[in-house]
């Protein structure tokens, strides 16, 4: 949720806005529709925080803190979340469709997409490692399991049982073997050609990022340090501060 927010207009909670008569929200854009979860969780947090200190904590900051706390609860590293973001008063359906890296991108396309947001290739790889938690929809990995060659045949066959060639778009598969634990198993899976998404496996396919994957697959401490630093850097993408934006009372709509 934090990633899909920050890559579209910056870390400004624009992803949380429902569509209105004047703009189409980001929730129904291709990369988000039927995929992003947790809006109700943010609503609950906002309600509780807002009752204690109304008009102080932005929805954008709540998303940033919730991302950190979720990682910690699942066994991952912690980091100091920089605070003071304000909330956007609009959203961009079109930017969500163009700026969020898709599951079928090549390595060079991934590097470019992250570079446009000021993030390095190393940060792209380590942030991809957050796929250690969560699941993906069949529509996101169908092409990889049926058409790509850089995939373990038995792994592909097992996923084809979940994801048919047609239909079942919303069927879910874990992104790695320990999907409720924040660990480095994702990278070990890449070494075994068991990346679920095309955009996962390209990180370890004879290219420039193979060495990073190898490092993170054997060194949890380095992965934890680097992903914590990368999450802070991602949280700094084009925030609204000062008099820009607002502190939304309801994360789903402009004040």
Domains and CATH numbers, the chain: 1-101 (1.10.520.10), 119-231 (1.10.420.10)
- Give me the pLDDT at residue 192, please: 98
- Give me the pLDDT at residue 27, please: 97
- Give me the pLDDT at residue 57, please: 97
- Give me the pLDDT at residue 94, please: 96
Instruction: Find the DSSP H helices in 34-178.
Output: 39-52, 59-73, 93-99, 107-115, 121-128, 138-147, 153-162
Q: Which residues pair with 174 in a beta bridge?
A: 135
- Give me the pLDDT at residue 219, please: 98
Task: Scan for tokens 């924040």, then name that residue.
Answer: 182
Whether 4 sits among the annotated catalytic residues: the reply is yes
Any idea of the CA torsion for 38, 109, 159, 1, to the nearest 10 degrees? Answer: -10
8 A C-beta contact, residue 212 and residue 151: no
The whole-angstrom separation of Cα 221 and Cα 211 is 16
Whole-model pTM? 0.96
* Sign of the Cα pseudo-torsion (42, 85, 239, 91, in order): positive
SS3 assignment, position 13: coil
Residues contacting 32, CB < 8 A, separation 6+: 4, 15, 26, 96, 100
- Give me the pLDDT at residue 204, please: 98
Annotation-wise, does 75 bind a ligand?
A: no
Annotation-wise, does 12 bind a ligand?
A: yes
Catalytic residue among 2, 4, 144, 198: 4
Annotation-wise, does 191 bind a ligand?
A: no
Q: What are the residue ranges in the chain where pLDDT is below 50?
A: none
| Helix-then-strand count for the chain, H and E | 12, 2
Annotation-wise, does 8 bind a ligand?
A: yes
- Give me the pLDDT at residue 180, please: 95
Annotation-wise, does 219 bind a ligand?
A: no
């Amino acid at each position: 949720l934090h990633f899909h927010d920050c890559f579209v207009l910056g870390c400004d909670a624009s992803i949380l806005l429902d569509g209105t008569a004047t703009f189409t929200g980001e929730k129904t854009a291709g990369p988000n529709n039927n995929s992003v979860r947790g809006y109700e969780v943010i609503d609950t947090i906002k309600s509780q925080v807002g009752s204690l200190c109304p008009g102080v904590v932005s929805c954008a900051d709540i998303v940033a803190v919730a991302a950190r706390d979720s990682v910690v609860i699942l066994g991952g590293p912690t980091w100091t979340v920089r605070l003071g973001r304000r909330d956007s008063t609009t959203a961009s359906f079109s930017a969500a469709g163009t700026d969020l890296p898709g599951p079928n991108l090549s390595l060079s396309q991934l590097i470019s997409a992250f570079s446009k947001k000021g993030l390095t290739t190393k940060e792209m790889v380590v942030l991809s490692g957050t796929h250690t938690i969560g699941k993906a929809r069949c529509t996101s990995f169908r092409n990889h399991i049926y058409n790509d060659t850089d995939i373990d045949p038995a792994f592909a066959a097992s996923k084809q049982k979940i994801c048919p060639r047609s239909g079942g778009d919303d069927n879910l598969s874990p992104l790695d073997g320990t999907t409720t634990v924040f660990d480095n198993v994702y990278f070990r899976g890449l070494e075994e050609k068991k990346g679920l998404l095309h955009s996962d496996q390209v990180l370890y396919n004879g290219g420039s990022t193979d060495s990073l994957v190898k490092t993170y697959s054997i060194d949890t401490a380095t992965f934890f340090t680097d992903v914590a630093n990368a999450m802070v850097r991602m949280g700094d993408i084009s925030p609204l501060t000062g008099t820009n934006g607002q502190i939304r009372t309801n994360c789903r709509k402009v004040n």
